[in-house]
Structure 1
Amino acid sequence: IDKIGRFLDPIIAVRAPTSEQVAKYWTPNGNHRLSAMKALGAKSIVAIMVPEPSAAYQILAMNTEKAHNLREKSIEVIRMYKELAQLDDATEETYALEFEEPAFITLGLCYEERPRFSGGAYHPVLKRVDEFLKKQMNVAIDLRRERAKTLLALDDRIVEQVEALKAKGLTSPYLKSFVVARVNPIRFQPKDAAPLSFDEALDRMTTATAKFNPEKIKMDDLARSGGVADEAE
């Protein structure tokens, strides 16, 4: 803009919901250009108006400028979910492109409840058992909250076992991932077995966590496990 002295690429603008009399807009694709114009002292900018608010999230989903970690992505998805749920009677599958994975919805609710939640330890399991719900999103959100509550309750039990391992003198950045892997029922599933549902998988993990015996775990077991380092608690 500064070099050629003119602005040739309109930004995308969507009207933001507001109770005020003055209309307000936001851009899902054009913040850098908007910031540049403001820095140059511009008082106006050329924009293409998109009347459907839901289209803004489709544009955001295709914007790959910023790479997200799991926490950021999950929080972004659940915020998007809550806004889209107010627009119409669509189901989660309608916005599969925007959400990318059903696991991000569940994990997003967990991160909202527990910001330092170790979602990375559970993500591999959720990718296999979580699925888009076929109910309207304003109804499905309650089921999602129940799933998040179940996952957080499991996490509490996992943390207890991790602390027991630490008390035994075992130290590793992979302790939580190690315990989750040990109680993951999918690893024991025959290849031709029917896939587990979310509820079935979490029920089995909860039962297995209660039976987990830290006294039987040796440092060699941890050394062989590898995996993803646990996020901060």
Structure 2
Amino acid sequence: MREDGGEVLGVYRDPLGGHPVVFSVLPIDKVEPTPYQRDVSEPHVKRLANAMERLDRFLDPVIAVRKDGRYWTPNGNHRLNASRRLGAKAIVALVLPEEDVAYQILALNTEKAHNLKERSLEVIRMYRGLVGAERKGPETAFAHLFEEPAFITLGAAYEQRPRFSAGAYHPFVKAVEDFLDTPLEDALPLREARARRLLELDDAVVSVVDALKERGLQSPYLKNFVVARINFLRFRKDGGKPDFDATVDRMQASARKFNVDKVRREDIGRMGGGPLEPDEESA
């Protein structure tokens, strides 16, 4: 660490798990986010920089792992950017010896809450990173990193269609997805294929939404309304896990047969819902 231009301030074991931690100061130009993380939020960086400038202090060390002479931070990218904006030459860090911590983004990153798009993209980026690093083992062995199997498929869909309205599909994808007992390198093409199936379904849903708009029906929740109408899983009584492809096939068939003439304005008005995901199409 000293050879990298940093300085060790102390070494201790964390009081929970007893793992070694190096309390250190690192050259800021040698610290960078893991390649799997969400994009930086400029407004959040600006707020952090303003707060740090008012306090004239940096009180929240970033977490870092050493990687090929540089330091990856899975937790602290916004603080890192705020420090750079203020002209800092060094940054205080808790350096951990376990490189696997770099993949614990979702568990560690509580600085700014993730939305569905950010979670999904981070998961698929981690997934590709693990495959690229030739990490061995079935997808199930990495479940603790990915948190939810739906994030993998939705992330692959976002890669292909950045304005994909994943929020409308997340409930049913969550219901049909499971972690695969298949090696990561073999499971990735399966996830990509499922993402393509989702986008095919999305195309069918968009056609219905366009037809509803032609009838003068307008709402930011039109897509959610259509997906909810064709989601037959709402009425299932048994607790078995539905098949992904069979579910998408049936929902696509329902979308093609969707009768827009039977939809009333008050039906959509009852839909309501929470705020849409950032960058999503408002159907």
Query: Normalising TM by the smaller chain, what interval?
Result: 0.7 to 0.9
What are the equivalent positions in structure 2 for 1:1-233 lying under 5 Å apart?
A: 9-10=23-24, 12-16=63-67, 23-29=69-75, 32=79, 36=83, 39-42=87-90, 48-50=95-97, 52-58=98-104, 61-87=107-133, 88-190=135-237, 192=238, 194-228=240-274, 231-232=280-281
Question: 1:99-146 deviations in whole A, cap 9, x for unaligned?
Answer: 111111111111111111111100111111111111111110000000
Question: 1:58-102 deviations in whole A, cap 9, x for unaligned?
Answer: 265233222011111111111111101233112222222221111
Q: What is the alpha-carbon root mean square deviation over aligned residues?
A: 2.7
- How many angstroms does 1:177 deviate by? 0.2
Aligned residues: 220
State how far apart, in whole Å, the 1-side matches of 2:178 and 2:89 are: 48
Which runs of 5 or more residues in structure 1 are unaligned? Answer: 1-5, 18-22
- How many angstroms does 1:228 deviate by? 4.4
Q: What is the aligned-residue identity percentage?
A: 50
State how far apart, in whole Å, the 1-side matches of 2:93 and 2:267 are: 61
Question: CA 1:213/1:84 → structure 2, altered by over 3 Å: closer, same or farther?
Answer: same
- How many angstroms does 1:54 deviate by? 2.5
Which residue identity is paired with 2:272? Answer: G
Structure (1 or 2) with the greater strand fraction? 2
- For the Cα contact (< 8 Å) 1:174–1:228, is it kept in 2? no
Which residue identity is paired with 1:213? Answer: N
State how far apart, in whole Å, the 2-side matches of 1:7 and 1:61 are: 26
- For the Cα contact (< 8 Å) 1:99–1:105, is it kept in 2? yes
State how far apart, in whole Å, the 2-side matches of 1:144 and 1:205 are: 19
Which runs of 5 or more residues in structure 2 are unaligned? Answer: 1-7, 11-22, 25-61
Q: Taking structure 2 as the reference length, what is the TM-score of the superposition?
A: 0.69
- For the Cα contact (< 8 Å) 1:29–1:60, is it kept in 2? no
Segment of structure 1 superposing worse, 66-75 or 157-166: 66-75
State how far apart, in whole Å, the 2-side matches of 1:47 and 1:224 are: 50
Q: Taking structure 1 as the reference length, what is the TM-score of the superposition?
A: 0.83
DSSP-derived class of the 1:14 partner: strand
- How many angstroms does 1:207 deviate by? 1.2
DSSP-derived class of the 1:161 partner: helix
Question: CA 1:216/1:41 → structure 2, altered by over 3 Å: closer, same or farther?
Answer: closer
State how far apart, in whole Å, the 2-side matches of 1:155 and 1:34 are: 36
- How many angstroms does 1:193 deviate by? 5.4
Structure (1 or 2) with the greater helix fraction? 1
